Each structure stands twice: as C-alpha cells, then as structure tokens.
C-alpha cells in the first residue's frame, strides 16, 4: 500500500497531471495595497569624529569667559562657606571651654562661700555687739512687720508707724527692763 501512495504522490508532482500554480484553475491572488506602508529605516548617525568635520563645534570667547566667571564665583562662594563654617565651629568650641571654666569658677566660689559661712562665729559677734558697742535687742513695739515685695525694692519716704519720739522716762524704763 505504501507503494501506491508513493506512486500517486509522484504522479501528482511529476506527471502530466501535476498541479502548477501558474496554470491552475484557482483564481489568481490579488495583491492588496498595504494599509501601513513600510517605513524606511533611517540609519542612525554614527559618532562623528571632529577630525573629519570641516568645523568642529566650539564655544565663543564671551561664552567661555562667562562660564569661567560663573566657576570663579562658585569657588569663592564655597571657600567663603567653609570659612564661615570653621568660624562657627571655633566659636562653639570656645563657648564650651568658657562654660566649663565658668562652672568650675562657680563651684570654687560656692566652696569658698560655704567655708566663710561655716567659719563665722555668730555667738562671738553677738557678745561683742552687746558688750563693746552697747547694743540691745529691740522691744516688741520697736519691730514693725510688713509684707515685702517679692521682687524689686522698697523706698521709705517717712518715719514708720510706731517710731515716734519717746520721752526720757520711757527710755529709762526700757533700759531698766532690758537688763
């Protein structure tokens, strides 16, 4: 059976009965116009070597000078920034050193003040004031209490109430009562 198929296929391709597309009964193929015409690919320009050109791209003198002036200004601004930054850092370091010195001086001052107050003999001062200078404690009517202002100061424009002149008899009586 394989032989018959081979023969048949041979006959179709090689004999008088061979089909030809040119002489076929099939209708001829019509060629339709392309809806999208093929785009012609343009070759990308290759890297241009300046040596091959008649005139190489260049910059004129004034543009070059403007570019150089801008570069100089930029460099000067950067240098100025660095100088100011260094000055600020130096000032911060000096401030820290001065604050450290201030704190150590405050501590030393507090220590000296504590030493002075601890060395004061209040009993000796009271005894000297009474014996040597004749000072006495005030009487009850001589002490006037008032509410003080929390901040600021107080001015006295006149005699305080209760400090009027007293007579000689009253003074003698007070001295006798004080002893």
Residue 111 lies in a domain: yes
Question: What angle is formed at CA 141 by the lines to CA 138 and CA 143, rounded to 5 degrees?
Answer: 55
* pTM for this model (two decimals): 0.37
Range of the domain at 83: 60-149
Whether 33 maps to a domain, the answer reads: no
| 118 within 8 A of 153, measured Cβ to Cβ | no
Domain membership flag for residue 173: no
Asked if residue 103 has pLDDT above 70, the reply is yes
The per-residue pLDDT for 6 is 46
Domain total for the chain? 1
Are 160 and 144 in contact by the 8 Å Cβ rule? The answer is: yes
Mean pLDDT of 99-116: 95
Flag whether 145 is in a domain.
yes
Please indicate, yes or no, if residue 10 is contained in any of the structural domains.
no
φ/ψ of residue 94, rounded to 5? -65, -40
């Amino acid at each position: 059976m394989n032989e018959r198929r081979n023969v048949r296929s041979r006959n179709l391709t090689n004999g008088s009965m061979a089909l030809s597309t040119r002489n076929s009964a099939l209708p001829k193929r019509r060629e339709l116009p392309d809806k999208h015409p093929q785009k012609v690919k343009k070759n990308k320009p290759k890297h241009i070597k300046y040596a091959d050109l008649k005139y190489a791209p260049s910059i004129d003198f004034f543009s070059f000078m403007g570019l150089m002036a801008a570069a100089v200004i930029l460099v000067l601004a950067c240098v100025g920034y660095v100088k100011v930054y260094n000055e600020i850092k130096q000032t911060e370091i000096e401030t820290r050193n001065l604050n450290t010195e201030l704190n150590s001086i405050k501590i030393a001052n507090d220590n000296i003040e504590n030493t002075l107050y601890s060395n004061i003999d209040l009993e000796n001062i009271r005894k000297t004031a009474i014996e040597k200078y004749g000072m006495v404690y005030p009487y009850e009517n001589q002490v006037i209490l008032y509410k003080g202002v929390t901040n600021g100061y107080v001015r006295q424009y006149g005699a305080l109430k209760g400090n009027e002149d007293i007579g000689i008899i009253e003074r003698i009586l007070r001295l006798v009562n004080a002893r």
